[in-house]
Amino acid sequence: MQKRTSFILGLLVGALLVGAAGTATYYGWVRPRHVNEMQVLKKNYAAENSSLRRRAKGLRKTATSAIPAPQNTNIDRLTPASEAALNKKLQAEQFIGTVLLVQHGQIILNKGYGYADAVTKRKNTAASLYQIGSVQKSITAVLIAQLIASGQAKYTDNLHLYYPQIPASDGITLRHMLNMASGLAYTAPAPKTVLTDNQLLAYVLQRVTFNPAKLGHRDYQPVNFTLLAGIVEQLTHQSYEQVVNQRIFAPLGLKANDAGFQWHMIEQPSETVSYGTKPNAGLYAQPVAQTLADMHSELGTGNIYATSNALYQIEKATVDGKLLSAAQVKTLRNSSNGVYGGGAYNFADYYVSHGVKNNQEVVFAMAKDGQTAAILMTNRASAYLQWEDWQKWYYRFAQNAATD
């Protein structure tokens, strides 16, 4: 019995040491190295080629010294009974992050749960920033729809007009790409060095493949939106980052502490540390870092961060006439029955989106009029296989929750 007890104690001590070692490695080496990468990249911007020079000129000034400290802006209008039901659900899912719920056009909950940074004991709040992952594709789709509305492109444009080197590009349209039905795929590993947009697109173009059997059939392939982002750059003669800043963030009054590109997130006081979901480990036992090369490789598909409210404002502005007209939205998102179209999964009266990047995850559902919404943003991705169930449960909860 004494030997068994000693063995169990040994296992527990060993697990604690492993967790502590992982955290120490992250804060003692990985994170400082990442911060240093950011500083070196900024110092070298002036020496980069023309694409990065254009980007540098268009960046918003986000010096940390000029950014106010984050404030706890949590909103909670739920009755005690509704609050208890929500907390029970979140606790069962071991959720850490921020939840935003909208009912009848009013935010009834915007609240943080768990830690943004477990080491410093900084909690998640309504102001916490998260990577939105593939939800960014809806932003890329809006940019394409804006360019079509201005007569600079058409849904029926063949990809050959922009990338003639892609096989069968004369039979692939922008509509095919927006609806993930182009037959294109890209499975090569992400670049290991930081590339400019032009360099990344060249890298992708050398490795993209085409399957004629999948042309016209839904097949989720992010490369479609990387190429669409490249088309945005071709038509505007600006970097994708500049276009998003000018056409999406600026009109909505969003600043760097609301939304931005991933390489700026570390400058923000409300950034969140990513945590892994290693079996039998604690919620915060496995901090995860991301390289600059990986961030830059997600052009148009997954390198934007936002608060829950900023993401809601962007998506609501899409459907209420600020970014696109109602007719333009209807044309863009031309699918139904939960089928992917125009950067989202569309149903009769609402649409959903889902993004995962660097162990951060977003589950998003919103009515087509923006009056009901449920947004879950987490810095410990855990809903990847259950996200469709999540969006249904939390959307229904937002519709029916009792409020004070």
3-state secondary structure of 106: strand
> Does 252 share its domain with 382?
yes
For residue 51, what pLDDT is reported?
A: 38
Q: Which CA distances in Å does 359 have to 19, 276, 290, 353, 375?
A: 17, 6, 10, 17, 17
pLDDT band of residue 382 (cuts 50, 70, 90) is: confident
CATH number at residue 265: 3.40.710.10
Which of these three, 191, 215, 236, is where a domain ends? 236
Q: For the segment 235-281, what is each residue's pLDDT rounded down to a tens digit?
A: 999 999 999 999 999 999 999 999 999 999 999 999 999 999 887 77
Helix/strand/coil for 191 = coil
Same domain as 382, residue 268? yes
Do 69 and 122 sit in the same domain of this protein?
Answer: yes
Residue range 77-97: average pLDDT? 96
Q: Grade residue 68 by pLDDT with cuts at 50, 70 and 90.
A: very low
84 is in which domain, residue-wise? 65-138+239-400
Q: Please give the model's pTM, rounded to 2 decimal places.
A: 0.85
Which pLDDT tens digit goes with each residue over 271-318?
Answer: 999 999 887 778 999 999 999 999 999 999 999 999 999 999 999 999
pLDDT in tens, 91-113: 999 999 999 999 999 999 999 99
Average pLDDT of every residue of the chain: 87
Which of 18-22, 26-30, 41-45 shows the lowest mean pLDDT across its residues? 41-45
pLDDT value at 12 more than 80: no
Asked if residue 401 has pLDDT above 70, the reply is yes
| Contact criterion met (CB below 8 Å) for 65 and 268 | no
Q: Which two tokens stand for residue 88?
A: 């029970």
Q: How many domains does the chain have?
A: 2
Question: Do 227 and 332 share a structural domain?
Answer: no
Looking at residue 399, its amino acid is: Q
Pairwise CA distance, residues 228 & 230, whole Å:
5
DSSP string, 2-68: HHHHHHHHHHHHHHHHHHHHHHHHIIIIIHHHHHHHHHHHHHHGGGS-HHHHHHHHHPPP--GGGSP
Residues 228 and 243 grouped into a single domain: no
pLDDT in tens, 191-201: 999 999 999 99
The answer to the question of residue 220 being in a domain is yes
| CB contact at 8 A, 377 and 360 | yes
Query: Taking 50 as the threshold, does the pLDDT of residue 175 lie above it?
Result: yes
Q: Are residues 90 and 229 in the same domain?
A: no
Specify the residue for token string 């309504």. 126
> What's residue 23's pLDDT?
56
